[in-house]
Structure 1
Amino acid sequence: MNTSPSPADPRQVIARRAAAEVRDGQLVNLGIGLPTLIPAFVPDGVQVWIHSENGIVGVGPQAARDQLDAELIDAGGGYVTLVPGGAIVDSATSFGIIRRGLLDITFLGALQVSRHGDLANWLVPGKVVAGIGGGAELAQKARRVIVTMPHCDKDGRAKIVERCDLPLTARRCVSRVITEHAVFDIGAEGLLLREILSDLSPAQLQAITAPFRDARP
């Protein structure tokens, strides 16, 4: 399903651009929240095998009301379906897939990403959370870690920063960041601007982003 996004919905802008990263036959993990929107924008004819860390290989669309199965949920607790050929596996097998580096991509949300690729996505001091979960494993072991997140937080503060001041999930793990405004790569050269997705100028984008080099063609 290839759905056109609403210009007023930055989450859809991000999810549509993220879907362009996947290739036919890849094994892809989706983090909680925004990344779960990505499958709706995968181009027709491209089959992506979606992995959920709680033990599903082949996650299908969200379950309709008449399809709800209390025992078939994704890692975020959402009711899902299973695609033909999909499998339910135990936790040890699921994390074995992660730890052996078999995931082509993991799409993760984030609270902050540093210009060097450090990821903070699990704890805001003073907030009650269940724990880091599988995020640390995913961030360290997937072949590509792509962060999908709003460019700024709800208070307007930049989320792509010089240095993370929140507890880290993993260091120097992020290879690409996709926001509603831009696509950045992170590598040996630091933060590189690859695409602008909104009507912001490079100067306006720089005002809300850690220092980057414009590497657009």
Structure 2
Amino acid sequence: MSFKPLDRAGIAARIARDIPEGWFVNLGIGIPTGVSDHVPLEREVIFHSENGVIGAGPAPAPENVDPYLVNAGTQPITLRTGGAFVHHADSFAIARGAHLDLCVLGAFEVAQNGDIANWAHSATDPVRQVGGAMDLAIGAKRLWVAMEHITKANGSPRLRKACTYPLTAKGVVRRVYTDLAVLEVTPRGFEVVEMIPGLTRQDLQDRTEAELIWR
């Protein structure tokens, strides 16, 4: 293999590069939570957490952890200047009311039409709660996904013609960032924006179930 996939921090850093000044952004659990660590402090991006934090900052140094200051995934965070705490109901009104410019979620699968599946580990998982991802997926103005391109278990593709896992939301994903590429979801399917160095078009297609479109 002549290419080196991005690690989880690398995916988060790549997403951070594309978030414009002034956006109001929610970060999901997993890879997305690392995005705030890579946004330069001089660029004003307001991060929202469902547990009632507006203006969350990057993760603190171990010696500066405040056990009472955490995100929705109970990970330690900091609070940027001007940050605030709000009631849980107000926080979800923000998530559901199209007040967020962007939500970044992790996923198990994304379909070529923008469907996302991120709450059940397989089609046969026992019934469990879908959680706040459902509200964020349909409530934010745009949805980006951070994920690894194939599964670790058997190398199965995660970018599919149609999701095989239970859906979180239909037709909402705008862009996908993986450890191999950045892809836009278009009416024709996944359009490749960029690939990591050393990766060929055939390498990427071999790891993708859906037919890729090239710019």
TM-score, scaled relative to structure 2: 0.90
Structure 1 CA distance for aligned equivalents of residues 57 and 9 of structure 2: 19
Offset at 1:133? 1.3
Structure 1 CA distance for aligned equivalents of residues 77 and 49 of structure 2: 10
Matched to 2:80, the amino acid is: V
Structure 1 equivalent of residue 150 of structure 2 = 152
Give the conservation status (yes or no) of the 8 Å contact 1:191–1:211.
yes
Structure with more relative contact order (C-alpha pairs < 8 Å, separation 6 or more): 2
Structure 2 equivalent of residue 204 of structure 1 = 203
Give the conservation status (yes or no) of the 8 Å contact 1:182–1:198.
no
SS across alignment from 1:103: coil
Matched to 1:137, the amino acid is: D
Change (3 A) 1:129 1:51: farther
Structure 2 CA distance for aligned equivalents of residues 43 and 69 of structure 1: 22
Offset at 1:71? 2.6
Give the conservation status (yes or no) of the 8 Å contact 1:28–1:48.
yes
Change (3 A) 1:8 1:165: closer
Matches within 5 A, 1:71-90: 71-90=68-87
Structure 2 equivalent of residue 166 of structure 1 = 165
Offset at 1:33? 1.0
Structure 1 CA distance for aligned equivalents of residues 80 and 41 of structure 2: 15
Please say which of residues 118-127 and 105-114 is displaced more in the overlay: 118-127
Which of 8, 15, 19 is matched with 1:18 structurally?
15
Offset at 1:192? 0.9
TM-score, scaled relative to structure 1: 0.89
Please say which of residues 167-176 and 16-25 is displaced more in the overlay: 16-25
Structure 2 equivalent of residue 96 of structure 1 = 93
Give the conservation status (yes or no) of the 8 Å contact 2:5–2:180.
no
Structure 2 equivalent of residue 70 of structure 1 = 67
Structure 2 CA distance for aligned equivalents of residues 129 and 21 of structure 1: 36
SS across alignment from 1:35: helix
Query: How many pairs does the alignment contain?
Result: 209
Q: Which runs of 5+ in 2 are unaligned?
A: none
Matched to 2:78, the amino acid is: T
Offset at 1:211? 0.7
Change (3 A) 1:78 1:169: same
Structure 2 CA distance for aligned equivalents of residues 49 and 186 of structure 1: 25
**Which consecutive aligned stretches of 4+ in structure 1 deviate over 6 angstroms post-superposition?**
none
Q: Which runs of 5+ in 1 are unaligned?
A: 1-6
Structure 1 CA distance for aligned equivalents of residues 65 and 126 of structure 2: 29
Offset at 1:170? 0.2
Root-mean-square deviation (CA, aligned residues, Å) is 1.8
Matched to 2:138, the amino acid is: Q
